[in-house]
Amino acid sequence: MLEKLISFDQIVTEDGAIQVRQITRIMEDGKELSKAYHRHVVEPGDDFGEQDEQTKKIAQVIHTEAVVAKYKEKKEKAVAWKWKKDN
């Protein structure tokens, strides 16, 4: 019998971004036939409603108003620095 199993793991960076790795396994009779990965990042301030349950729980705890504000400020400074550098 073929079976598709999906699981997730996460890494939280020092600035509060959550790196999510989705692992998709195709199994036959309990033996793994293939495994594939998909990665994405949930940044502070992103809508995380469509994420897996574990990522949602992490985001609810980690993405406080203070973390979101600090992340947005850091991002704005990076954009301003790049603009200044390029012009």
pLDDT for the residue numbered 79: 79
- Residue in the structure block whose two tokens are 């729980």: 57
Q: Which residues contact 34 (CB under 8 A, 6 or more apart)?
A: 25, 26
**pTM score of the predicted model:** 0.83
Residue 50 reports pLDDT greater than 90:
yes
Backbone φ and ψ for 77, nearest 5 degrees, come out as: -65, -40
Q: Which neighbouring-strand residues pair with 5?
A: 25
Angle at 11 between CA 63 and CA 6, to 5 degrees: 105
DSSP 75: H
Place of tokens 């992490």: 58
Per residue in 17-47, pLDDT (tens digit) is 999 999 999 999 999 999 999 999 999 999 9
Write down the pLDDT at residue 86. Answer: 73
- How far apart are alpha carbons 24 and 27 in whole angstroms? 10
